[in-house]
A and B are shown apart, each in its own frame.
Chain A
Amino acid sequence: MSAPAKSQPVTRTPFKRWCDENTGLFFLIPWIIGFLVFKAYPFASSLFYSFTDMNFFKGIHQYGIMNYISIFTDRKTTTALMITFKYAFITVPLKLVFALFIAYILNFKIKFVNLFRTVYYIPSILGGSVAIAVLWRALFKDTGIINTLLGFFGIQGPNWLADRNWALFVICLLRVWQFGSAMVLFLAALKGVPADLYEAATIDGASKTKQFFSITVPMITPVIFYNLVTQIAQAFQEFNGPYIITQGGPRNATTLVALLVYNYAFQSNEMGMACALAWVMFVIVMILTIIAFTSQKHWVYYSD
């Protein structure tokens, strides 16, 4: 008859019970502080500043939508937005097509697959560094090795970085060169496509090309989607390439939005204007992301 005495319920004070129920919250305290201080507050005040003429030295003297008006009427900002779109629409598709193409070949029974994977992946790891930006300037210098190479074929290469039409393309190439991380994701996805699907298709007499578009691509749409969304977000924020390689030139031909935001905020101290421009960019990326998410049901295939 001693058993009931042992299992007597332990009485907990309400405070202790609250603690038991919220242990998880305790572990999130640092994150909550971090979110409020380093994300939420800056996010909200950025929106606030965007409706002011905040200047780092002079402070705020005027409220209103003047920043937004000048963003959509000033040639400097509209050009930057146009160039950024152009940059994203060149970089993202090229990068994804390259990544998928190479991943597709690597997925055949290839020897030294790890060696190839490493070689293709190195640029993704180093590409963001200043060192690679320096290298890019050396490659695309007027007397750089790209032009020397073109010279062998009798082509007189342009002065890439000083040419309004080519400078942006050089900045794009720096990003396309870093297709390795997207490729690694595609490769992992391709390995996950069940082999019996291909076998069935081969028996039915479907060609390799047909199989690629009717089996491979649909099966890996979740990863295509993921890559697309992340690459668009990245492309719209590109800063290092234009800042280090071309300083936005020649004649603003490579002044992408992120660089212009920096110039407003930290060169001419027009912080209100910088915030407004950053917000315009943010809303554009948001719209593109929402479009991608809502279009998902038409083209992204989730097996589970």
Chain B
Amino acid sequence: MKMSTANKIGKFLQYFVLIAVGIIMIYPLIWMIGATFKNNAEVFSGIGFIPMHPTLEGYKAAVTQNYGGNINIWRAFINTYSYVIPKVIFTVISSVVAAYGFSRFKFKGRDLMFSIMISTLFLPQVVLNVPQYLMYNTFGWINSPLYLPLWVPTLFGTETYFVYQLVQFMRSIPKDLDEAAAIDGCGPFKILYKIICPMLSPSLVAVALFQFMWSCNDFMGPLLYVQTPSKYPMAIFVKLSMDADAGFSWNRILALSLISIIPQLIVFFCAQDSFIDGIAAGAVKG
């Protein structure tokens, strides 16, 4: 079948819009990469991204910058991952356990608890911030060197969004499998990690990936609970550096910002299908 002229124009317009919008979307990031290799005088001299006089001075300044000898970029990375990684692991485990309880068993009060769980999806963090802060203060967790307020709650399935998603996924796994395993003498724990978890692994990966991204991006948590400069994570460190010298050292601050998101970019490009499938599956089912 030959394409009519109208169809050809239609196709052309589709690609034109997609490419034009795509460029607008992604150009700021490309410009940012270019700007990190420019010298300071050149950063805002035009809209092009290719540096005329490529230099590494922005990067050199970014990796050597430290505030009073307490914090530098590497320290900030270590600080970030020292709570992000536990947070991711605990979120996956505690969410699976809670989802298992909700989706695989019948008992008195289950439906009520499930509705409560769903309603906490609509509970804004802003409402909880002040009492949580006061509570952590009485626990002595504020400015805790172990970042307790940032990861301890995730041990208890408090990330409702993920619990809810995993419940949806578990419901779609046929129950015959667990029943067969139960007849073979598997206890509920064994069924969970021998039968359910392997079948659920794509969703578990998606949960881990999203929690990783969101935790790396999280700004308010560390803003409230981390006050010692040597314990600052990346998010606070970048903000601090920006306030310290936006206006005279843009190549440095842009280089620092770019370095700060490189781990996230790597994770995203290695696992982009998991991200996109994860987000589509979770909500469409809901």
Contact = CB atoms under 8 A, between A and B. Distances in A.
Of all A-B residue pairs in the complex, the 8 with the closest CB atoms, nearest first, are A24-B105, A34-B156, A27-B101, A131-B257, A42-B131, A188-B280, A128-B217, A31-B157
Contact of A148 (B32, B47, B268): B47
6 contacts: A28-B98, A46-B127, A130-B217, A135-B29, A135-B32, A145-B31
B254 A134 contact: yes
Interface in B95-109: 97-98, 100-102, 104-109
Contact of A41 (B21, B131, B261, B276): B131
Interface string B198-226: 00000000000000011011011000100
What interface size band does chain A fall in?
Answer: 35 or more
Interface stretch (B53-61, B64-72, B238-246): B238-246
B155 A106 contact: no
Interface string A96-125: 000000100110101000001111111101
A56 B136 CA distance: 13
Contacts of B239: 130, 133, 244
B130 A271 contact: yes
A148 B46 contact: yes
A184 interface: yes
Interface stretch (A164-172, A195-203, A211-219, A275-283): A275-283
The B interface, classified by DSSP as helix, strand, loop or mixed, is helix
Interface of A: 21-28, 30-35, 37-39, 41-43, 45-46, 49, 56, 102, 105-106, 108, 110, 116-123, 125-126, 128-135, 137-139, 141, 143-145, 148-149, 177, 181, 184-185, 187-189, 192, 223, 226, 233, 236-237, 239-240, 243-244, 257-258, 261-262, 265-266, 271, 274-275, 278-279, 281-282, 285-286, 289
Contacts of B235: 129-130
Interface in B230-253: 234-236, 238-239, 242, 246, 250, 253
